[in-house]
Structures are given as structure tokens and as C-alpha cells.
Amino acid sequence: MQVREFMNTRIESIDADRSVYDAVEIMVDRRFRSLAVTFSGKLSKTSFDGVVTARDIVFKVLAKGVNPKKVKVSEIASRPIICISQETSIQEAATLMEKSNIARLYVCDGDKVVGMISMLDIMAAELIVRARGSHVS
Amino acid sequence: MFLERLFSSGKKERDVTEKMRRHLELLCDVCSKFKTALENQDRNLMCDVIDLERQGDSIRRAVISLIYEGAFLPFLRPDLCKFVEVVDEVFDLLKDTATYCRSTELPEPLRDECVRVALLNFRMSEMLLSSFDAMLKNYDLREKALAIRIYEKKIDDMKFYIIDEAQKIPVSDFWSGKILSDLISGLTSISDVIEDASDHLQIINISMR
């Protein structure tokens, strides 16, 4: 199965200059576990340079007792984002996540980000492959 | 074993299961055609979807007649009929959605996501057929039912995104807005009904053990 079948196309983004508090607000309000980050002020819906995750926010800011209003997203975001093509198999995506120790990959078409695939999507896709009877045991 | 004997014993039973399988094959065919028609904005192919719904209707009638002519034990008949009727509801939804697609053009910002929903609907119909075959062979349906539930959940998530995006699209009048809304509603409800059919299949499977 290719990632194009199971990726999420709903990607929320935030400007790198905004505060971590703003990021928390968006993530809690819209139930996202990560936000794509745009540096250099370009507010394109499909071109991102970094990512900030719930893990980054909790470990790097909240757990340390730092005020999230005083930290910029750019200070804790991971960059660059790791991109794969829509034709990448679920198995390859899982291997890349394991090697890079990350929980989500962005799916790109050239320079354009068209989707995102998370660990949960990988697990769901694996169950479907098994149900189709085409898994390798 | 009981199930295998039950489904392969008499001629009437075999006729019913063959027709039910044909009904599900036709559903896969219609879902595939619908996806291609939506992807290519092919109105003629949408007409095929509408025509094939009638074929689905006639298979449903044939199955129900055979069942009430005496195929299967009486306690099984209502469940089998119900399953066929739920599958037929999917055909009805596909026909209605195809009709909306013929009378409006899908706005560009929604097209890719709607095509992906149509693809997942097709995958769900394939999984339902595979689940039916597994039931005839007395296999466990758990993995297949779970796959169908995962697809349904995925489409549910996509539905909210499509609705969010649709709200940003200006509509010229009431009817164009209503048709677009009904199109989205139909397209994203197909998975709910396929999931109902899958649940029903599992009930049949369990009730006959």
C-alpha cells in the first residue's frame, strides 16, 4: 500500500515568529498533535520548513516551567521536515520513521507538501494490509 | 463446518449465495466506476453508475424472492434479507450522489479529497466482498470488520475537512449550495452504510455458529 492512500491532507501551520502559547491554542482547539512551521514569513499553505509537535512543547517548554507566551515557535521547532513521495510504501515510511526516530512524515509532490502520515496511520494501514491478506508474516 | 454445510447444501441456497456475491461484485464495480467518473469529471460514466443501480435492484429482488421461496432455515431469512437490503442502500446512495455530480461541477479545492473518499469507498466495498467470501468459508471476520471500521473512521475525519473547506466556497444561489451539500453528504455517507453491512455480516456469521 502506498502512503497516498492513507495520508492526511489536513495540515495546520503556524508562523515561526508566533509564540508557543499560540501553537498550543491551535493544537488543543483543532485537535492536532503537530503543526507545520513556516519560517521567513512566507505564509504558503503548502511550503513548510519545520515542524513543532506536542512532544516538543511539553518537554522543551511546559515541563521546564517556562512561560509559553515568552517562547517563540522557532526556538523549539525541528527543521528541516522530512519528506517522502506519495508513492512511498507504508513499509518504507515505517522504516524511515524508525531510522529518524520521528513520529510523522510529510508527503510531498515536488516542493509542495500534500499530506502527512503519522505512526497511527501506519498502524491502521498495516491492519488493512493484513485484512486484505497481502501481508508478509 | 455448520456454516459451510448451510451455505453449500441445497441448490436454492447456492443460488442465493451466488447472487449475493454477484450483488457485492456489482457494488465494487459501481464504486470503482464512480471514483473514475469523479476523478475525470466524466458525466457519461456517472450515467453508468445510475444504470447499474437498477441492476443491483433486480439482484436484490431475485435474492429476496429465492429466500422466501424456501432457501435457508426460516430463522436465518430475515438477517440475510436485511444484509441484501443494506447493500442495496449503498447502491441508492451511489446513484443519488452520481446524480448530484452530473448536475454540478465539484469545486477545485474539494476535488482531490472527494476523489480520495471515493477511492476509500471502493476499497471498503472490496473488503466487504472479501468479508462475504470469508464468511462462506467459515473464516474469522474480525480482521476484515476492523479494516472496514478503520476506513470508515478515516472517511469520517475527511468529511469534516471537506465540510470546513466547502464553507469557504461561495455559492451563486440556494440550489447550487444545496446540491453541493447533498453531494458531500451522500459521498461521505456511503462508508457508514458499508460499515452497517459489514456489521450485519458479522451478526449473521455469529448467529450461525
Where in chain A are the domains?
3-132
- Asked whether the predicted pLDDT for residue A43 surpasses 60, the reply is no
Contacts of B147 in chain A (CB under 8 A): 127-128, 130-132
Q: Compare CB distances from B147 to A8, A9, A131 and report the shortest one's residue.
A: A131
Q: Compare CB distances from A124 to B113, B150, B161 and report the shortest one's residue.
A: B150
Pairing of strands A83-85, A104-109: parallel
Residue B69 buriedness (CB in 10 A; 0-12 / 13-18 / 19+): exposed
Q: Which residue of A has its CA nearest to B159?
A: A10
pLDDT above 90 covers what percent of chain B?
70
- Asked whether the predicted pLDDT for residue B185 surpasses 80, the reply is yes
DSSP at A19: B
B119–A contact, CB cutoff 8 A: yes
The C-alpha of A128 sits at a distance from chain B's nearest C-alpha, in angstroms, of 5
CA torsion A35→A40→A44→A47, rounded to 10°? -70
Q: Residues B117, B75: contact at Cβ < 8 Å?
A: no
Q: Average of pLDDT values for A42-68?
A: 84
- Asked whether the predicted pLDDT for residue B100 surpasses 60, the reply is yes
Spatial distance between the Cα atoms of B194 and B128, rounded to a whole number of angstroms: 7
- Asked whether the predicted pLDDT for residue B8 surpasses 60, the reply is no
B130–A contact, CB cutoff 8 A: yes
Coil, strand, or helix at residue B1? coil
Contacts of B113 in chain A (CB under 8 A): 9
pTM for this one? 0.85
Rounded CA Rg of chain A: 16
The residues that bridge with A34 in the sheet, in sequence order, are A53
A5 vs B119: CB contact, 8 Å cut-off? yes
The residues that bridge with A115 in the sheet, in sequence order, are A107
Angle between helices B11-40 and B108-136 (to 10 degrees): 160
ipTM, 2 decimals? Answer: 0.75
Q: How many CB pairs under 8 A join A and B?
A: 36
Distances (CA, A) of B168 to A32, A45, B117, B179: 21, 15, 20, 16
Q: Average of pLDDT values for B142-158?
A: 93
A86 band by pLDDT with thresholds 50, 70 and 90 = very high
B143 vs A130: CB contact, 8 Å cut-off? yes
Spatial distance between the Cα atoms of B26 and B205, rounded to a whole number of angstroms: 22
Q: Average of pLDDT values for B25-43?
A: 94
| Among candidate residues B18, B128, B20, B32, the one with its CA nearest the CA of residue A131 | B128
Q: Which residue of B has its CA nearest to A10?
A: B161
Q: What CATH superfamily classification does A3-132 receive?
A: CBS-domain (3.10.580.10)
Q: What CATH superfamily classification does B2-207 receive?
A: Phosphate transport system protein phou homolog 2; domain 2 (1.20.58.220)
Distances (CA, A) of B151 to A33, A39, B128, B195: 21, 35, 12, 9
Spatial distance between the Cα atoms of B95 and B46, rounded to a whole number of angstroms: 9
Q: What would you measure as the largest C-alpha separation in chain A, in angstroms?
A: 52
